[in-house]
Chains A and B, each alone.
Chain A
Amino acid sequence: MSLFAQNSSRLVDSFINFVSKEWALWLPLLVGGLAIFLMLPRPRRYPMWLGAAFGLGALILSVALLFKPAAVSPEIALFIAFSSLALISGALLVTQENPARAALAFTLVILSTCGLFLLLAAPFLMAATIIVYAGAIIVTFLFVVMLAQQHGHSDADSRSREPVLATLTGFLLMGILLYVVRTGYETSRFEILLKGIAAAQGGQDGKEIKSLIQAESNGPQGTLFSRSESLLAELGFFALEQQVTQLDLDWNMLGPDNPDKLDLTKAKELLTKLEIVLLTGKDRVGYASTKPGRGIESSEIRRDDKTRVPHLPAENSAHLGKVLFTDFLLPVELGGTLLLVATVGAIAIAQRRSVEERRVRNSTMTLSQPEEVKG
């Protein structure tokens, strides 16, 4: 019993610790969950402005606490615009009573994710998604016009199944996903080292560069090279660690003991190499396997000079086609077969009539025949 009490108090302690430490994570989620719950359709709805206010608050909180924009650049502004449009219209799609309006909100979701695809250098996918979903949305509209109840409230549109449990499930899942993304992609130690490298590259003479590389003032001992080495070894990136060991040897060969004779260009070259190795390591954080996969090796990726984001080939559709018809030839064939099977299946399902319907139809036919004879 006392063991149980001890365990439960430890659980409570760790929960309180989690709540106080990760408030940047759960606060926007809580507000967003409240917004969705308040806006879900039900016979007596809450006022619309209440849910809208909570939703806007959740968006602003998540931009300020989760995204934390460092500066104002066109890319960041576009990212915020497209992603908040996608999330707002996604929330509208979930909470809209009228299915025709829900289809319109879905159009907005598609268009804003297409904007995000463009930001991610995928123009072919953007065009393909718009073309495919334009057809899908038109067909959905047709179905809404054909099947949905046109006037007043209906059970299908104005009620929700278990709004509390559904919202709770969705936002618990979202919290877990965001927590895993935040901890799995934890790169702050790489950031510290990269900042140190950037500072050292700005050094004017040998003495300054040496002192910046060996900066022991802010915490851990050792040069930037040895600290990177131990970090990469700790994470299990042994191939990268060997590269850094080589760089460390080169640095010692340069003769950092008399900084006046230090070769500045060579030192800066070493620092750039170290930066590239660290960026590769930073990209690999969060991946379960460190084995090289197929395709381009991470260390061979060419990167942008300023942002250090990897280059993708400029001829997107040409290269995508090459990838599709070399690496993914069998899946392409399978995808075509799948489309054929789905078409056949859809026609077969849509034509099938239920037993009662067939019986009613047959009976009306037999009833109407004598009348025709009589007439």
Chain B
Amino acid sequence: MNAVGLESYLIVGAALFCLGLIGFLARRNMIVMFLCAEMMLQGVALNLVAFARFRGNLQGQAFVLFLVTVAACEAAIALALILMLYRRKGSLDVSLWQDMHEVGWEPAEDDEPLPEIPLPAPLPHLTPAGIEPPRKEEPNHV
């Protein structure tokens, strides 16, 4: 038999799910966390389509259509929430919200300084056309 078996698709689906889980747990940018959650949903969808293929009926595919619907709802709500959280703290960093932690559980702090990247050189300021530049010696003429 040369065909790819069900187990192989299940393994790829599980791997996508777990990569998304790692991203959701480890990353601090809320947009990236949202993308990782979507990737977990993709892993599950792959499993369902593989089951539909190897069981010879379409119920798994119908299930994936509902999954896409729920993913769209999740995207709408998640992006609205991200927008609201950003308005409150001015940053996408999810660790700014860790004062909501459980009582008696120290929040994780990362004290290592970030490497400095020098800002790009400021653009030269040219005098706007049609306006006479201020001159220092002007009071002497009067």
Chain A: interface residue total (CB-CB under 8 A): 113
- Chain B residue numbers with a CB within 8 Å of A44 are 112, 115
Q: Are B12 and A116 interface neighbours, CB within 8 A?
A: yes
- Chain A residue numbers with a CB within 8 Å of B76 are 342-343, 345-346
Q: Are A295 and B57 interface neighbours, CB within 8 A?
A: yes
- Chain A residue numbers with a CB within 8 Å of B114 are 43, 153-155, 158-159
- Tell me the bound Cα distance from A71 to B4 in angstroms: 10
Query: Contacts A124-B61, A307-B2 hold; do A93 and B112 have CB atoms under 8 A apart?
Result: no
- Tell me the bound Cα distance from A76 to B2 in angstroms: 8
Query: Contacts A154-B93, A156-B91, A169-B21 hold; do A71 and B62 have CB atoms under 8 A apart?
Result: no
- Chain A residue numbers with a CB within 8 Å of B65 are 125, 128, 320, 324
Chain A proximity mask over B9-45: 1 for CB below 8 Å, otherwise 0: 1111011111111110111111110111011001001
**Nearest-Cβ distance from residue B79 to partner chain A, whole angstroms:** 6
- Chain B residue numbers with a CB within 8 Å of A103 are 31, 35
Q: Which of A6-14, A105-113, A223-231, A243-251 contacts B (4 or more CB under 8 A)?
A: A105-113
Q: Are A129 and B68 interface neighbours, CB within 8 A?
A: yes
Query: Contacts A43-B113, A79-B8, A83-B12 hold; do A339 and B56 have CB atoms under 8 A apart?
Result: no
Enumerate A118-151 residues with CB–CB distance to B below 8 Å: 119-122, 124-125, 128-129, 132-133, 136, 139-140, 143-144, 147-149, 151
**Nearest-Cβ distance from residue B45 to partner chain A, whole angstroms:** 7
- Selected contact of B108 from candidates A144, A161, A352, CB within 8 Å: A161
**Nearest-Cβ distance from residue A232 to partner chain B, whole angstroms:** 19
Q: Are A43 and B19 interface neighbours, CB within 8 A?
A: no
- Tell me the bound Cα distance from A228 to B24 in angstroms: 47
Q: Are A338 and B26 interface neighbours, CB within 8 A?
A: no
- Tell me the bound Cα distance from A103 to B120 in angstroms: 25
Q: Is residue A178 within 8 Å, beta carbon to beta carbon, of the partner chain?
A: yes
Q: Are A136 and B38 interface neighbours, CB within 8 A?
A: yes
Q: Is residue B110 within 8 Å, beta carbon to beta carbon, of the partner chain?
A: yes
- Chain B residue numbers with a CB within 8 Å of A66 are 11
- Selected contact of A109 from candidates B27, B28, B39, CB within 8 Å: B39
**Nearest-Cβ distance from residue B119 to partner chain A, whole angstroms:** 7
Q: Which of A234-242, A266-274, A309-317 contacts B (4 or more CB under 8 A)?
A: A309-317
Query: Contacts A136-B75, A153-B114, A339-B72 hold; do A120 and B9 have CB atoms under 8 A apart?
Result: yes
- Selected contact of B32 from candidates A93, A124, A166, CB within 8 Å: A93
- Tell me the bound Cα distance from A237 to B26 in angstroms: 45
- Chain A residue numbers with a CB within 8 Å of B59 are 294-295, 323, 327
Q: Are B58 and A320 interface neighbours, CB within 8 A?
A: yes
**Nearest-Cβ distance from residue A332 to partner chain B, whole angstroms:** 8
- Selected contact of B84 from candidates A149, A177, A185, A352, CB within 8 Å: A352
Query: Contacts A73-B2, A151-B119, A185-B6 hold; do A171 and B53 have CB atoms under 8 A apart?
Result: no
- Chain B residue numbers with a CB within 8 Å of A106 are 35, 38-39
- Tell me the bound Cα distance from A91 to B61 in angstroms: 26
Interface of A is mostly: helix
Q: Is residue B103 within 8 Å, beta carbon to beta carbon, of the partner chain?
A: no
Q: Considering the complex, give the chain A residue whose CB is closest to the CB of B22.
A: A170
Q: Is residue A281 within 8 Å, beta carbon to beta carbon, of the partner chain?
A: no
Q: Is residue A257 within 8 Å, beta carbon to beta carbon, of the partner chain?
A: no
- Chain A residue numbers with a CB within 8 Å of B52 are 120, 122, 312
Chain B proximity mask over A338-351: 1 for CB below 8 Å, otherwise 0: 11011101110110
**Nearest-Cβ distance from residue B98 to partner chain A, whole angstroms:** 9
Q: Considering the complex, give the chain A residue whose CB is closest to the CB of B114.
A: A153
- Selected contact of A313 from candidates B6, B17, B38, B58, CB within 8 Å: B58
What are 27 A-B contacts with C-beta separation under 8 Å?
A42-B112, A43-B112, A66-B11, A70-B1, A87-B19, A93-B36, A99-B92, A117-B49, A120-B49, A122-B52, A132-B71, A133-B38, A149-B91, A156-B91, A157-B28, A161-B27, A161-B94, A166-B22, A295-B59, A301-B56, A307-B1, A311-B56, A312-B58, A320-B65, A324-B62, A350-B83, A357-B88
Additional pairs, 10, CB under 8 Å, beyond known A120-B9, A120-B52, A165-B25: A43-B115, A90-B39, A120-B50, A132-B72, A139-B75, A173-B21, A181-B11, A298-B55, A312-B57, A347-B80
Residue ranges of A at the interface with B (Cβ–Cβ < 8 Å): 36, 40-44, 62, 66-67, 70-71, 73, 75-76, 79, 83, 86-87, 90-91, 93-94, 96, 99, 102-103, 106, 109-110, 113, 116-117, 119-122, 124-125, 128-129, 132-133, 136, 139-140, 143-144, 147-149, 151-163, 165-167, 169-171, 173-174, 177-178, 181-182, 185, 283, 294-296, 298, 301-302, 307-313, 316, 319-320, 323-324, 327-328, 331, 335, 338-339, 341-343, 345-347, 349-350, 352-354, 357
